[in-house]
Structures are given as structure tokens and as C-alpha cells.
Amino acid sequence: MGTGEITFYRKPRNFLAISLLLLFVTCVLFGWQWAGLCDRRSVVWPLNVYPQLAWPTGMTIVLAVTGLFTKPSAGLHEWVNRLLESDARMFFAVTGATSIALLLLVHTAVLTEAMLAIGVIFLARFDLRRLRIRGWRQFAVLSGVSLIGFLGGGWLYWSWTQVEWLGLG
């Protein structure tokens, strides 16, 4: 490079569409597996008693995971402090967290998929932040894509089982 020479660096590209598509596909896979789990209803499945709660529970899980990584950190910090301010709440929080951790360790496939989903959420969150979309707007975009993918995966599973039942698959 000589003196007086001006260099232009390429503007970094925005891959928001790709990261949101990856999030959508990940949630479709999760919805498919959730529908298969609800369809089998094994003895281990805790929602056997109330099967109508299976899909609201799955949607709550999707929103909780999305919200955990996108909600503004001040609000999350305040929520955790409120959760841990009494002994009874702390007991239930630790018991619930331990149960979830044990479940994830026993089922490594679930742990792997959870790590994939978390990575995709971080990727989409990073791309949204580059566009200066933050806070609750970011949560709304990511949770909307996640819920549509989750419910779409459940619908695809149901459609596939109907095709198999008719003998066309």
C-alpha cells in the first residue's frame, strides 16, 4: 500500500433471514418430536393424566427458552431475585432446576437438541442486534418464529401420521 491510497472494506452482510430460517427449522423439528412424544404417551410421560396440557406446556417451554436468552437482562435479574427471596420459592426453583438437569443428562439427545436451539437463538439474536432490534421487539420476533415453527412441526407430524394411516405413505 502506498501513501494516499484509500482502501474500502466490504460492508458486513446481514444474515438475518438465514438465522431466522435456522431457528424456524429447529423449532419445526422440536414440534415434530414433541408431537411424537405426545402421540406415544409412554408411562414415563408426566402429562398422561392431562393430555390436553401437552401443547400448552410445549409452547410454554418454547417461550421460556426464547425469553431466557432474549429478555432484557435487567428484567431477568429482577425476576431471579424475586424467585430466590423466599425459602419456599428457592426450594421449588432448585428442585425444578435439578429435575430438568437430571432429565437432560439422562436423555443426551434432548440435551444436544437444546444446545442446538440455544445456539440458533443466539445467532438470530446477534443478527437482530446488528439491525438495532433489541429488548421486547427482539423477543417478539424470536418467539413468533419459534412458536410458528413449533406448531408447524406438530402439524406436520399429525399430517404425516394421517397419510400413513390412509396407507398412502
Q: Please report whether residue 52 resides in a domain.
A: no
Mean confidence (pLDDT) of the chain: 80
Q: Please report whether residue 152 resides in a domain.
A: yes
Those residues whose C-beta lies under 8 Å from the C-beta of residue 138, and which sit 6 or more positions away, are 70, 125, 128, 129
Quote the pLDDT of residue 100: 78
Quote the pLDDT of residue 72: 61
Average of per-residue pLDDT across 52-70? 83
Q: Please report whether residue 48 resides in a domain.
A: no
Q: Which three cell numbers stand for residue 13?
A: 452482510
Q: Which domain holds residue 104?
A: 16-35+57-166
Q: Please report whether residue 102 resides in a domain.
A: yes
Higher pLDDT, 165 or 69: 69
Quote the pLDDT of residue 70: 78
DSSP assignment of 46-115, as one string?
GGGS-GGGHHHHHHHHHHHHHHHHHS-HHHHHHHHHHHTSSHHHHHHHHHHHHHHHHHHHH-HHHHHHHH
Predicted confidence (pLDDT) at residue 2 exceeds the cutoff of 60 = no
pLDDT (tens digit per residue) in 96-138: 888 877 777 777 776 788 788 888 988 998 888 888 888 888 8
Q: What is the number of structural domains in the chain?
A: 1
Quote the pLDDT of residue 73: 57
pLDDT (tens digit per residue) in 140-151: 999 999 999 999
Q: Please report whether residue 11 resides in a domain.
A: no
Of the ranges 35-44, 49-58, 82-91, 130-139, which one carries the lowest mean pLDDT score? Answer: 35-44
Q: Please report whether residue 28 resides in a domain.
A: yes
